[in-house]
Structure 1
Amino acid sequence: MGRISVVTGANQGLGFALAEGLAQGLTAADVVYLTGRDAARIEAAAGRIASPVAEVRTRVLDVTEDAAVAAFADELRQRHGGVDIVFSNAAARLTPDTPWAELVGPFVDTNNLGTTRMLRSFSPILRPGGRLLVVASDFGTLRSLPASLHGRFDTETMSLDDVDAAMLAWRDAVIAGTAAAEGWPEWINIPSKVGQVAAVRVLARERRERDKADATLVAAVCPGLVDTAASRPWFENMSEAQTPEAAAAALLRLALGPVRPETYGELVQFGEVRPWR
């Protein structure tokens, strides 16, 4: 049976590079699902993949819709018996000069609740030896938050519902204008990334023993600074930024290579673990 892969947010940037890398690195018996919210854009993206070996299929998927994510996972379970590689990569874009209170709602719905929707729906159908990888950033550790907030992310006791509740409470504080008084960082990408990595850690805690037995990997991944349309407005100097193709390389090694036990449940950047604390 061929391997089945899914990449969310795959019509451009890093997501496209991941889908293309899988299509080139897998075999003719394998299938890569390139997903996004707009049918025309994902079809165009699939047509841009250079020299694919695996079969590339497109699928409209909006990770802000509970039913859509669950239905897609169920479809893959029925059609293929499960999934082997998942890159949860969909992210809402931040725009300069727009108040955080206007951006934080869709940002949390896509980046955080979208992540936990993917984890809930796709972890049960992840086949033994599979890879479930959430694209985050190096902001996603407790070192990015003041110590007074660390207790809100006790991943040794939390459930995914608890992670969602923490992110919704932070969202509401941003909207109400009380987030700074509670100690939250001004840059809303920081709490969001911490929430994504926390969700991965919670799921990994629940699955660790069974995944260890069959070399399955659940992890968060940090690609580093990538030169994309989403990142350019925030950086004056992009000279050290990677192309999406270069940034995808380390992530694809995690997806396609052997599992290193120390990376399980952790945030991994360029093959190295970024400590949670």
Structure 2
Amino acid sequence: MNTPRIALVTGANQGLGRALVEGLAARTNPDDLVLLTGRSPQRVTDAAREVAQLPATRARVEGRVLDVSDTDAVARLAEDLGVRYGGVDIVVSNAVARLLPEESQAERADEFIDVSNTATHAVLRSFGPVLRSGGRLIVVASSLGTLGHLDPRLHHLFDGASLDQVEYAVESWRSAIHSRTAQEAGWPIWLNVPSKVAQVAAVRAVAAERRAHDLATDTLIAAVCPGMVDTATSRPWFSDDGRAQSPAEAAEAVLDLILDGPVDPALYGELVRTGTALPWHDGTPPVEQDRMLTP
């Protein structure tokens, strides 16, 4: 008898996270458990109930309240799942802070960094040790997460960095924003660029330490680029919404990476878009006036 799989998605009340929960619940087995997490107890409860009632749902679906910016809460949940179920099999770190074009990037920096980067580090640190053999730990990023999108002066902070070094770089960036020296040091105004690069760098750091063991046990750690997705978070940034996918459409390639076939070593530890690894050193620093989300 196969051991039931335990899957968890952060930022799953709506948008891509919700679509990933729906897809996992439809494509896994009745004994498997999919955990839908978010900060609002009522929204988590409502969303989990709605997904559980969908005709396509096969697995069990439960809600868990989780503020990913609370690193202690992330650690407690990982420990609890490790004790209760012996580990987890699928973890998707998807939470992101909503930021509107008219809002000050600097004034929203702390929340954005906490939800996108501090949370990513916490998920990697806490859930990596309880990820069972054959598991999948995925961080949702974007194509902006390749190193070339940063000023070359900043590359040494992330290229070949350990997770501790990535965390230090992120906090240095945060401090530079507060001291108003970020642009002078080469950091772009747009938070999404260094945030995504740091997310991918964190994945690469953890994957570098685990690669041999994980590949031997068909375990995957990777970042993914889902492309442009039509969600409440991204919609205000569109210049051409005809290119945007629905959350369900965007979720398909991510679900395929998680659920279909053995791990491709070429994708391990990389930023993956529709089954292809994006070269880490590719990209060019963005023009600040062009703030459209890049798929």
Q: 2-side partners of 1:87 and 1:262: how far apart?
A: 20
Tell me how far 1:162 sits from its aligned partner. Answer: 1.3
Tell me how far 1:48 sits from its aligned partner. Answer: 2.4
Tell me how far 1:93 sits from its aligned partner. Answer: 1.1
Q: What secondary structure sits across from 1:124 in the alignment? A: coil
Q: 2-side partners of 1:133 and 1:117: how far apart?
A: 13
Aligned to 1:197: 200
Q: 2-side partners of 1:171 and 1:34: how far apart?
A: 30
Q: 2-side partners of 1:111 and 1:196: how far apart?
A: 8
Contact kept, 8 Å, 2:78 with 2:130, in 1: the verdict is yes
Aligned to 2:181: 178
User: Which runs of structure 2 are paired with 1:64-143 in the superposition (5 Å)?
Assistant: 64-143=69-148
Tell me how far 1:97 sits from its aligned partner. Answer: 1.8
Moved more, 38-47 or 109-118: 38-47
Contact kept, 8 Å, 1:91 with 1:107, in 2: the verdict is yes
Aligned to 2:40: 38
Tell me how far 1:9 sits from its aligned partner. Answer: 0.3
Aligned to 1:9: 11
Contact kept, 8 Å, 1:140 with 1:193, in 2: the verdict is yes
Tell me how far 1:99 sits from its aligned partner. Answer: 1.4
Aligned to 1:167: 170
What is the TM-score when the length of structure 2 is the normalising length? 0.91
Aligned to 1:270: 274
Aligned to 2:68: 63
Aligned to 2:212: 209
Q: 1-side partners of 2:202 and 2:190: how far apart?
A: 20
User: Which contiguous aligned blocks of 4+ residues in structure 1 show a shift greater than 3 angstroms?
Assistant: none
Contact kept, 8 Å, 1:100 with 1:174, in 2: the verdict is no
Q: 2-side partners of 1:236 and 1:154: how far apart?
A: 32
Tell me how far 1:236 sits from its aligned partner. Answer: 3.0
Q: What secondary structure sits across from 1:132 in the alignment? A: strand
Give percent identity, aligned residues only.
54
Tell me how far 1:235 sits from its aligned partner. Answer: 1.3
State the AA in 1 paired with 2:29: T
1:150 aligns with 2:152: no
Contact kept, 8 Å, 1:87 with 1:134, in 2: the verdict is yes
User: Which runs of structure 2 are paired with 1:212-223 in the superposition (5 Å)?
Assistant: 212-223=215-226
Partner deviation per Cα, 1:235-262 (whole Å, 9 max, x = no partner):
1321110000000000000110121110
Tell me how far 1:274 sits from its aligned partner. Answer: 0.5
Q: What secondary structure sits across from 1:165 in the alignment? A: helix
Q: 1-side partners of 2:170 and 2:81: how far apart?
A: 29
Contact kept, 8 Å, 1:221 with 1:267, in 2: the verdict is yes
State the AA in 1 paired with 2:7: S
1:19 aligns with 2:21: yes
Tell me how far 1:182 sits from its aligned partner. Answer: 0.9
Return 5+ residue gaps in structure 2 as ranges: 282-295
Q: 2-side partners of 1:266 and 1:159: how far apart?
A: 15
State the AA in 2 paired with 1:187: W
State the AA in 2 paired with 1:152: L
Return 5+ residue gaps in structure 1 as ranges: none
Aligned to 2:265: 261
Q: 1-side partners of 2:245 and 2:27: how far apart?
A: 20
Q: 2-side partners of 1:74 and 1:134: how far apart?
A: 19
Tell me how far 1:57 sits from its aligned partner. Answer: 0.8
Tell me how far 1:161 sits from its aligned partner. Answer: 1.8
Q: 1-side partners of 2:230 and 2:50: how far apart?
A: 19
Tell me how far 1:180 sits from its aligned partner. Answer: 1.1
Contact kept, 8 Å, 2:157 with 2:165, in 1: the verdict is no
Tell me how far 1:60 sits from its aligned partner. Answer: 0.2
State the AA in 2 paired with 1:133: I
Q: 2-side partners of 1:147 and 1:163: how far apart?
A: 16
Tell me how far 1:80 sits from its aligned partner. Answer: 0.5
Q: 2-side partners of 1:13 and 1:175: how far apart?
A: 31
Moved more, 32-41 or 46-55: 46-55
CA RMSD of aligned residues (A): 0.9
